[in-house]
Amino acid sequence: MPKPPPYAVPLREISDDPIHRTFTVPPALVSEWLKGLPMRDALGAPDEDPNAGTGKAELDIYAEGAHVFTTGTFKGDLTVACSRCVEPVKLVIDERLMVTFLPKAEMPLDEEAPEAEEGAEVPAEDLDVFPYEGEFIDLEPLFREQFVLSVPYAPLCREDCKGLCPQCGIDRNSGTCSCEKPVDPRLAGLKGLKLPSA
- Which residues of this protein are in contact with Zn ion, per CB under 5 A? 82, 84-85, 157, 161, 165, 167-168, 177, 179
- The answer to whether residues 26 and 5 touch, using CB atoms and an 8 Å cutoff, is no
**Nearer to Zn ion among residue 88 and residue 134 (C-beta):** 88
From the CB of 17, what's the least distance to Zn ion, in Å?
Answer: 49
SS3 68: strand
Query: Toward Zn ion, which CB reaches closer, 2 or 166?
Result: 166
Shortest distance, position 88 Cβ to Zn ion, whole Å: 9
Edge-to-edge, what's the strand order for the sheet holding 19-25? Answer: 19-25, 53-64, 67-81, 88-103, 128-132
CB of 182 to Zn ion, least distance (A): 11
Q: How far is the CB of 166 from Zn ion (least distance, A)?
A: 8
| Rounded distance between C-alpha atoms, residue 152 and residue 5, angstroms | 28
Nearer to Zn ion, 178 or 197 (CB): 178
Closest CB to Zn ion among residues 66, 154:
154
Q: How far is the CB of 38 from Zn ion (least distance, A)?
A: 15
Q: CA dist 164 to 31, 37, 79, 113, 161, Å?
A: 25, 21, 19, 45, 9
Consecutive H or E run containing 147? helix 140-148
Output 66 or 168, the one with its CB closest to Zn ion: 168
Length of the chain: 198
